[in-house]
Amino acid sequence: MRARRLPGRWLAAALGVAAVMVLAPGVSYVTASQSSPSPLSGPATLSVQAAAGCRGVTPAVFPALGFITDPARTQGGHLWWRRFADGSTCLGTVVEWVQYNTTATKTWRVVVYSAQHPDGQTVAQQTFTAGRGWYSWGFGVHQAFQGLSAVCLTADESFGSPCISFVQSPG
pTM above 0.75, yes or no: no
Task: Find out whether 95 and 137 touch, Cβ atoms under 8 Å.
Answer: yes
pLDDT single digits (tens) 120-148: 999 999 999 999 999 999 999 999 999 99
Residue type, position 34, single letter: Q
Task: Give the model's pLDDT for residue 1.
Answer: 41
Q: Is 42 helix (H, G, I), strand (E, B) or coil?
A: coil
Task: Give the model's pLDDT for residue 92.
Answer: 95
Task: Give the model's pLDDT for residue 56.
Answer: 87
pLDDT single digits (tens) 74-102: 999 999 999 999 999 999 999 999 999 99
* Dist CA 131 CA 137 (whole Å): 15
Task: Give the model's pLDDT for residue 9.
Answer: 42
pLDDT single digits (tens) 6-57: 344 433 433 343 333 333 333 333 222 222 233 443 333 333 333 457 888 9
Angle CA 158–48–53, to nearest 5:
115
The conformation of residue 73, written as its DSSP 8-state character, comes to: S
Q: For 27-165, CATH number?
A: 2.60.40
Q: Domain coordinates of the chain in residue numbers? A: 27-165
* Dist CA 64 CA 52 (whole Å): 31
Question: Lowest-confidence range among 43-52, 53-62, 160-169?
Answer: 43-52
